[in-house]
Amino acid sequence: MARLFRCWITGLALTAILAFSAFSVMARSFDDIIESGYMTIAVYNNFPPYSFIENDTPTGIDIDVATEVAKELGVEPRWMWINADENLEDDLRQAIWKGHIITRKKADVMMRVPYDRKFSYAMDGYGLPRNEMVVMFGPYHTEQWALLRNTDKTDKIETLAIFQYEKIAIELDSLPDFFLSATLNGRLRNKIVHTPTTFDAVDLFNKGEVAAVAGMRSQLEWAVPPRANYTINTVGLASMSIKSWDIGMAVKQDYRQLAYAIEGITEPMIKDGRMKAIFDRYSVSYLLPDLYKE
Amino acid sequence: MKSRTVSSHLISTAIGLALSLSALGNAQAAGVTDKDILNDQATTSDILTYGLGPRGQRYSPLDMLNTKNVKKMHPVWAFSLGGEKQRGQESQPLVHDGVMFVTGSYSRIYAIDVKTGDELWQYEARLPDGIMPCCDVINRGAALYDDLVIFGTLDAILVALDQKTGKVKWRKKMGDYKAGYSFTAAPMIVKGKVITGISGGEFGIVGKVEARDAKTGELVWTRPTVEGHMGYLNGKENGITGGEANKTWPGDLWKTGGAATWLGGTYDPDQDLILMGTGNPSPWNSHLRPGDNLYSASRLAIDPDTGKIVWHFQTTPHDGWDFDGVNELISFDYKEGSKTVKAAATADRNGFFYVLNRENGEFIRGFPFIKNITWAKGLDEKGRPIVNEDSRPGNPADSEDGKKGKTVFSVPSFLGGKNWMPMAYSQDTELFYVPSNEWGMDIWNEPVSYKKGAAYLGSGFTIKSIFEDHIGSLKAVDPKTGKVVWEYKNNAPLWGGVLTTAGNLVFTGTPEGYLLGFDAKTGEIVYKFNTGSGIVGSPVTWEMDGEQYLSVLSGWGGAVPLWGGEVASRIKDINQGGTVWTFKLPRS
């Protein structure tokens, strides 16, 4: 089916269905989680450098952050690997408040959930809250869009105009895809190479088939070791509607006590440099979330 | 990768044994042949195909049940699909050799003793944990061939089971669910081949039609539905769809152009053509892909032997409203003076009803079948919509300041003047009975969106009723004039299929749970029975031991319950279910 619209609505229409849903599983209280000795953590499947499997071991920034949180809570981390759906509302529904449509499993907390008040308190077209089933909390870093360029091909030209002549690879249906396809009246459109993921785009870049890749800074930095003729920066993307955003976590609306406890762990991690140390391990720049800036 | 339970009910009593022996005695349990399938509409003692015949007319020549006696019709048995897995039951039952085959939500299939309602066996596909099915976990039905019953699962596997035992005979992967492929339609058998489309209008996939040897599951041909992609026949290259890439698509977007064939198709034996519809183009934002974007939102006529596209008709060029072109194209003949017109008709998501010449795909006529269409002013002489560009959802580039873009009110809503639910064509009244919905949508660009940990630009919308007293509207449409002969209005949106019979009857179900029977000529309600949950399945009728039976699945779900606001208020009191109801007249 034409998925975009149909899956979007599942995210919108929660209240009515949810209240009567036969699927509701009893929420685990904070005490239940501590007593059980484990915490289920939803992370995106195969999504470096945040969460992925390497040598049969869960690896990545989100894995390390969550492991540290679990350690301080005195529980074992258990991973619920989720495949991303069409949008965040779908993922929150499946991972946090309603459960997966087939397995009905849920997680206690989900990583890599944007921390954006405009999003948290957004209303749907009927004037009802879009995300009232979850609490989004605990920003632990800032992600941003960036351009990876091979300066042998782009020379000293830092404006986007170069991409009328040189190819640029982008993950299909990402915000940079929308932006670069539409900007300059669509003049870059024929030089855009669409790929399933940013890493497929980086592969083309490494083979010399494209001059640049647009994507998330953390992914580009993790995927491409620094070289003299490679640059990763945000030059040219100033007029994107959203240039950067904070990343935090989410729990179900009635799990606030768990959210407070987790925030009580991540906040000191940010302040005493342990958070940055995790990002350093993956060669990713650590950008402080807005909440913790001066 | 499967689990199977064979019911202990199978021949559990001496009576059961005697019955099945006598059934064997009467008609030797022969496998279903191509000839049987072609004759399905005329042979009233079985239902071998989705659509009651390859043309999909959903017309039965049975007339034992008629407008006078139908009020006495009563249930003879009911069969529960059981478990907690009671979600939308959009299936159409098949009946063959004393057994009813019914698919259920969550990729399940059941064989039921058609005389008693006893379960003979059931098969439940084991679905992978990581699967993310769109919309709902529905299935629309199976196909029969030889001694096999064939159906597809949510993780895009085609499974052939032994009709008698429910044991797996073959299993074939139609696509990778991890890439977004899924399957919910009923497969179709054409000339010994099982023909399937594919679900998953997800970004990065391209629709396709495939033919496999029905007995072995081996792939014979595959035909991608987007211009620029190579088709294959017996493993060899068989021509690029549309000749070459980039005729109607910019850049490399044709590589991921969508056009999913998620509802399957029909077959016209006269022209020997498979008629298959395609979904919307991708990405959703039409401003990024100027051009007609062939063959999205189209009907394709495909040679069943080679997989070549013989003709096409695009209902919504350069779609920007999510008007999938998948709705069934039903072949029918009509007289114009002394001339017989070989026609085919479809009621599109976009609100227009089209009559095509099925010999060449040429447009004969078209007209709106819902009220107040906003997105187009009408159709031109070739059937192309005269688009009202003001009603095209806004360009996201205009929302680059991070503000909500302009809101457009569009009729019909993206759920369509008619969605997947199949209409019926009566050879007696020469009318189409179209299950339609009257609704619109506000749609805008939504800059505060996220996807997989990244900022995104989504699309926001609300569905709105147009009329106070109804959204659902069953219409009797004259394909020769465009006239609506009668209309039944229903409070909730209609989401179930339609059946018509030579007994001057039309049947359909409602979300409120009613199986409704209508006088085919006048629209008068002549039958009403509450099945206990919403009906989103398609009714069938057949004959057994000199009596006419009717069956329908009840079980609320599908896409409708996923909405909020004004639609939700019309359906909030409907309960879940999962039951096959079977009816007949009392024995006199």
Q: Which of A69-83, A97-111, B52-66, B225-239 has the lowest mean pLDDT?
A: A97-111
Q: Is A192 within 8 Å of chain B by CB?
A: yes
Both A116 and A39 in one domain: the answer is yes
User: pLDDT at residue B99 above 70?
Assistant: yes
Of B256, B262, B459, the CB nearest to A4: B459
Q: Which residue of A has its CA nearest to B183?
A: A1
B82-110 per-residue burial string, b: 16 or more CB within 10 A, e: under 16: eeebbbbbbbbbbbbbbbbbbbbbbbbbb
Q: Which domain does A68 fall in, by range?
A: 27-142+246-292
Q: Which residue of A has its CA nearest to B450?
A: A88
Both A168 and A152 in one domain: the answer is yes
- Return d(Cα B188, Cα B276) in angstroms, integer: 11
Both A161 and A173 in one domain: the answer is yes
Structure tokens of B444?
A: 């805008």
Give the pLDDT band (50/70/90) at residue B25: very low
Both A209 and A228 in one domain: the answer is yes
Predicted-complex ipTM score = 0.88
Both A74 and A126 in one domain: the answer is yes
List the single best residue of B105, B282, B449 to mutate versus A (max A Cβ within 10 A).
B449
Q: Which residue of B has its CA nearest to A193?
A: B252
Q: For A106-160, write each residue's pLDDT tens digit.
A: 999 999 999 998 888 888 777 778 888 899 999 999 999 999 999 999 988 889 9
Q: Is B279 within 8 Å of chain A by CB?
A: yes
List all residues of chain A from 25 to 44 with a beta carbon under 8 Å from chain B.
44
User: pLDDT at residue B447 above 70?
Assistant: yes
List the single best residue of B105, B562, B571 to mutate versus A (max A Cβ within 10 A).
B562
Both A137 and A276 in one domain: the answer is yes
Is residue A154 assigned to a domain?
Answer: yes
- Return d(Cα B307, Cα B300) in angstroms, integer: 11
Residues in chain A: 294
Is residue A223 assigned to a domain?
Answer: yes
Both A122 and A225 in one domain: the answer is no
Which uninterrupted H or E stretch holds B41?
none
Locus of tokens 């006239």:
B483
Q: For A61-118, write each residue's pLDDT tens digit.
A: 999 999 999 999 999 999 999 988 888 998 999 899 988 877 788 999 999 999 998 8
Both A45 and A118 in one domain: the answer is yes
Cβ atoms within 10 Å of A160's Cβ, excluding its own: 21
Instruction: Look up the CATH number of the domain holding residue A161.
Output: 3.40.190.10
Catalytic residue annotation of B: 322
User: pLDDT at residue B41 above 60?
Assistant: yes
Is residue A208 assigned to a domain?
Answer: yes
- Return d(Cα B183, Cα A28) in angstroms, integer: 35
- Return d(Cα A258, Cα B375) in angstroms, integer: 49
Both A78 and A118 in one domain: the answer is yes
Contacts of A2 in chain B (CB under 8 A): 201, 258, 260, 279-280, 284, 322, 324, 414
Q: Which residue of A has its CA nearest to B127?
A: A102
Residue that finishes a domain, picked among A185, A206, A233: A233
Contact criterion met (CB < 8 Å) for B455 and A242? yes
Reduce the DSSP state of residue B398 to 3 states and report it.
helix
Residue of B188, B180, B183 whose CA lies nearest to B206: B180
Question: Total domain count for chain A?
Answer: 2
Residue that finishes a domain, picked among A211, A233, A255: A233
Three state DSSP letters for B208-248 = EEEEEECCCCCEEEEEECCCCCEEEECCEEEEECCCCCCCC
Q: Which of A10-24, A211-225, B218-232, B486-500 has the lowest mean pLDDT?
A: A10-24
Is residue A171 assigned to a domain?
Answer: yes
Both A225 and A275 in one domain: the answer is no
Locus of tokens 């639910």:
B421
Q: What is the nearest CA distance from A49 to chain B, expressed in angstroms?
A: 12
Is residue A10 assigned to a domain?
Answer: no
Q: Is A127 within 8 Å of chain B by CB?
A: no
Q: What is the nearest CA distance from A105 to chain B, expressed in angstroms?
A: 10
Is residue A5 assigned to a domain?
Answer: no
Q: What is the nearest CA distance from A119 to chain B, expressed in angstroms?
A: 6
Is residue A37 assigned to a domain?
Answer: yes
Q: For A158-207, write each residue's pLDDT tens digit.
A: 899 999 999 999 999 899 998 999 888 889 999 999 999 999 999 999 99
Reduce the DSSP state of residue B100 to 3 states and report it.
strand
Q: What string of DSSP letters covers B238-301?
A: EEETTSSTTSSS-TTGGGG-B---TT-EEEETTTTEEEEEB--BSSS-GGGS-S--TTTTEEEE
Is residue A20 assigned to a domain?
Answer: no
Instruction: Enumerate the H helices of chain A as residue ranges.
Output: 3-12, 14-20, 30-36, 61-73, 88-92, 117-120, 151-154, 175-186, 198-206, 217-223, 256-271, 274-281
List all residues of chain B from 213 to 252 with a beta carbon under 8 Å from chain A.
250-252
Residue that finishes a domain, picked among A209, A233, A257: A233
Both A159 and A197 in one domain: the answer is yes
Both A110 and A189 in one domain: the answer is no
Rounded alpha-carbon distances, angstroms, from residue B91 to B109, B471, B535, B579: 10, 23, 10, 11
* DSSP 8-state secondary structure symbol assigned to residue B139: -
pTM, 2 dp: 0.90
